[in-house]
């Protein structure tokens, strides 16, 4: 794994940590928390777009293309983004993403 790829994984991990901290401060019904989480989801999507297919293919259980597309949805169609979609993503999808990123970083640490 290249240094660039590792950095993108670390970017995802940092955004996941920030989202967790934001949600710990308050509910997504708070506009400030919602906006902070949305920006971090955009960062995750941008970082995922920079990862090579060969790398993400080693974690086939994740919808990598959907993660990247969510970034586009959040960045370009923000008026169409519902709280329910963001809440579901935070609750159901981000833990799996965090686990996959940790595994990829563990493998990279051995190289």
Residues tagged active-site:
71, 76
Q: Which two tokens stand for residue 39?
A: 């920006």
Identify the burial level of 46 via C-beta atoms within 10 angstroms of its C-beta, where 0-12 means exposed, 13-18 middle and 19 or more buried: middle
Query: Residue 102 contacts by C-beta under 8 Å, 6 or more apart in sequence?
Result: 13
Look at residue 50 and give its three-state secondary structure. Answer: coil
């Amino acid at each position: 794994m290249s240094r660039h790829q590792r950095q993108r994984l670390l970017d995802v991990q940092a955004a996941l940590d920030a989202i967790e901290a934001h949600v710990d401060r308050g509910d997504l019904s708070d506009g400030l928390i919602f906006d902070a989480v949305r920006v971090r989801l955009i960062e995750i999507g941008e970082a995922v777009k920079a990862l090579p297919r060969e790398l993400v293919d080693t974690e086939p259980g994740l919808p990598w293309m959907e993660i990247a597309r969510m970034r586009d949805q959040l960045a370009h169609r923000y008026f169409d983004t519902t709280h329910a979609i963001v809440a579901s993503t935070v609750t159901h999808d981000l833990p799996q993403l965090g686990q996959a990123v940790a595994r990829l970083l563990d493998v990279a640490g051995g190289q």
